[in-house]
Amino acid sequence: MTGPRYTDLIQSLPSTVPFVGPEEQERARGAPFRARLGANESLFGPSPKTIAAMQAELADIWKYGDPSSHELRHALAAHMACAPENILVGEGIDGLLGNLVRLLIAPGDAVATSDGAYPTFNYHVAGFGGVLHKVPYVEDHEDPSLLFAKAHEVGAKLVYLANPDNPMGTWHDGAKLTVALDDLPEGCLLLLDEAYIEFAPHGTAPTIDAEDPRVIRMRTFSKAHGMAGARIGYATGAAGLIKSFDKIRNHFGMNRVAQAGALAALEDREWLAHVQREVQSARDRIDQIARDNGLTTLPSATNFVAVDCGGDGDFAKAVLDALVARDVFVRMPFVAPQNRCIRISCGRPQDLDVLAEVLPEALSEARG
The whole-model pTM stands at: 0.96
Pairing of strands 233-236, 215-220: antiparallel
Pairing of strands 110-114, 341-345: unpaired
Contact (CB, 8 A) for 210 and 241: no
21-45+270-367 has which fold? Aspartate Aminotransferase, domain 1 (3.90.1150)
The architecture that CATH gives domain 48-267 is: 3-Layer(aba) Sandwich (3.40)
| Residue range 315-357, pLDDT digits in tens | 999 999 999 999 999 999 999 999 999 999 999 999 999 999 9
Q: Count CB atoms within 10 A of the CB of residue 207.
A: 10
Give the C-alpha separation, 115 to 270, whole Å. Answer: 37
Could you tell me which residues are beta bridge partners of residue 328?
35
| Residue range 98-121, pLDDT digits in tens | 999 999 999 999 999 999 999 999
- pLDDT (mean) for 246-251: 96
| Residue range 276-306, pLDDT digits in tens | 999 999 999 999 999 999 999 999 999 999 9
Contact (CB, 8 A) for 181 and 189: no
Q: Interior CA angle at 141 toward 38 and 242, to 5°?
A: 80
| Residue range 118-159, pLDDT digits in tens | 999 999 999 999 999 999 999 999 999 999 999 999 999 999
H/E run at residue 318: helix 313-325
Omega before 337 cis (within 30°)? yes
Backbone angles phi, psi at 32, to 5 degrees: -75, 160
Give the C-alpha separation, 75 to 72, whole Å. Answer: 5
| The predicted structure's pLDDT at residue 17 | 80
Q: Count CB atoms within 10 A of the CB of residue 168.
A: 27
CA proximity to 309, closest of 322, 298, 323, 295: 295
Quote the distance between the C-alpha of residue 199 and its chain's center.
13
| The predicted structure's pLDDT at residue 76 | 98
Residues 6+ apart with CB under 8 A from 33: 22, 25, 26, 327, 328, 329
CA proximity to 135, closest of 122, 119, 116: 116
Give the C-alpha separation, 235 to 153, whole Å. Answer: 28
DSSP letter, residue 306: E
| The predicted structure's pLDDT at residue 18 | 85
Please state the domain extents for the chain: 21-45+270-367, 48-267
- Flag whether pLDDT at 224 surpasses 90: yes
- Flag whether pLDDT at 248 surpasses 90: yes
Give the C-alpha separation, 219 to 221, whole Å. Answer: 7
